[in-house]
Chains A and B, each alone.
Chain A
Amino acid sequence: MTVTSDEPVGRSQQDRPTGRLSAHVVVAAGLLAVGIALFWIAVQAAEGDFDPQGPRLAPVIVTGGWVAICAVYLVQLRPGRAPAAAAAEPAPVSDTSAPDLDEPDTTANTSVRWSEPLLVAAGLVGFAVALEYAGFVVSAVGFFVWTARVLGSRNWIRDSVVAVALSLVIYLTFTRLLDLFLPGGVLPL
């Protein structure tokens, strides 16, 4: 393989939608910002004590490394980077190209939806909040039906039946057989 034969590959990589590249830049910048904040916290907490036997050096090293690596990452993502260099240390946008063509769900630049994960996450938060008030069974049934619905199930009667059966079995097994604590909540179980 020669250098020239590599070049078109590099070009095609750069032809990928810039939307994803810019998203990567945002992520890298965000990571860098978080890293700097944590580094600052670590240095503040050290109060000048960088004794290798003490507890303050490791946080400084780790967060310092975080900042350094994120900076390198950000530099790598800059537009117009030489393709050869990109191949030697593949930049993220190039990665999904070659090895994963047979992977159905790593073709990352096709439509990614945000609403479903956010709705699932909302369901999780609701579940955790309701757990200790409404009790395990009630909150689990609500959560299961909600999540199945968000993930595309349209058969909510089946989902409800499964949810009720599942939560009851779990609750009774855990509390009666295994003697583990789960909040009973509003149901007189």
Chain B
Amino acid sequence: MTYPVTPAGPRPVRHRSRRVFVAVAAAMLLTTAACAKDTADGSGDGDAVAYPTRTLQLMAPAAPGGGWDITARSIQKAITDGKLVNESVEVHNVPGAAGTLGLAQLVSKSSGDPHTLMVTGLVMVGGVVTNKSPVTLAQTTPIATLTAEQEVIVVPANSKYQTLTQLMDDAKANPSSINWGGGSAGGTDQILVGLLAKAAGADPKQMKYVAYSGGGESKAALLAGDLTAAVSGQSEFRDLVASGQVRALAVSGGAGIDLGTGTPTRTIKQEGYDVELMNWRALVAPPGIDDATRQAITDLIDRVHASESWKSIVTEQGWEDFYKSGADASAFFTSETERITAVLTEIGLG
């Protein structure tokens, strides 16, 4: 696979740690291969690998309560509710740096261990680029993408902008007149602003993007008048849109959705810009997993996805089903990584 390499030249320290990591990974691979063979021999169930054979660890590379954490706990719930496996499932959180800390831990410590799975998503792809992480998503073993959420672009109710086109025309003509606001630098929200600017023929680097921690702060700034437009996950602004305090100009997915105003908000594509961006979430396994085991994990997640418990959680959370597994998932990771890396580099964050 040809994933873009992180642009920054690795420093000597990283070389060393990488070498250590390779050695450790190799050692672990051998052990796991041996173990996998044992279990395969023992199971006697044709080609299928017995999985899981001990407690399943789900890593949420974020603090409790975030989207990744909820995803991990939902998987746990679906597995337990449906009694999909005999072993128990634990969730543990490794918060930090857009998930790249968890990613580093997965790749270095859990290499070759099929019983540790990690939730990931678009934010981590961006985080790897902006944080110049020495470890990338390409080093993991993709299992499946699970869910996705649309983004929404909103302006205050008293804003002069009625349509996305008006906003983008001004952004193009006079970039400094528009204060864009959203989540952390290099996150989904800024990526969308960059993609939108590019599609509108403006310079992504010229967009004035003010980053806030979490969705709440940018809401306050939009209401107080610091921001011209805010970008966020659609669920975040649903309530303010429905109550009429802000106006939704467009959503970022393939089909418009109703944010509580009674009519579906138009998509960015319908507004004439060729941009589609979903904040997707996925599940990956550590590196060094052989194909048979990978298939066994994928089978388990297939069953999770088909379970009633999972379906009801997805509906409750307002997520969209975004299931791709196997080769589809790998191809999707590759194309998203290329697209995101390109736009972040143009913004000047790469």
Contacts and interface: CB of A to CB of B under 8 A. Distances in A.
Is chain B found bound to chain A in the same assembly? yes
A127 B57 CA distance: 24
Contacts of B91: 179
Nearest to B57: A181
Contacts of B92: 180-181
Q: How would you classify the secondary structure of chain A's contact residues: helix, strand, loop or mixed?
A: loop
Interface residues of A, number: 3
B90 interface: yes
A91 B57 CA distance: 56
A162 to B, nearest CB: 28
Nearest to B76: A179
Interface in B85-101: 90-92
**In which size bucket is the chain B interface?**
under 10
Interface string A173-185: 0000001110000
Nearest to B55: A184
B220 to A, nearest CB: 21
Interface in A144-189: 179-181
Contacts of A181: 57, 90, 92
A179 B88 CA distance: 11
Contacts of B57: 181
Interface string A117-130: 00000000000000
A181 B90 CA distance: 8
A138 B261 CA distance: 59
Nearest to A179: B90
A179 B72 CA distance: 14
Contacts of B90: 179, 181
A179 B76 CA distance: 12
Interface in A38-78: none
Nearest to B91: A179
A180 B90 CA distance: 8
Interface string B241-268: 0000000000000000000000000000
Nearest to A55: B185
A177 to B, nearest CB: 13
A181 B92 CA distance: 6
Nearest to B88: A179
A176 to B, nearest CB: 11
Contacts of A179: 90-91
Interface of A: 179-181
6 contacts: A179-B90, A179-B91, A180-B92, A181-B57, A181-B90, A181-B92
For the complex of A and B, the 6 pairs showing the least CB-CB separation, nearest first, are A181-B92, A181-B90, A179-B90, A181-B57, A180-B92, A179-B91
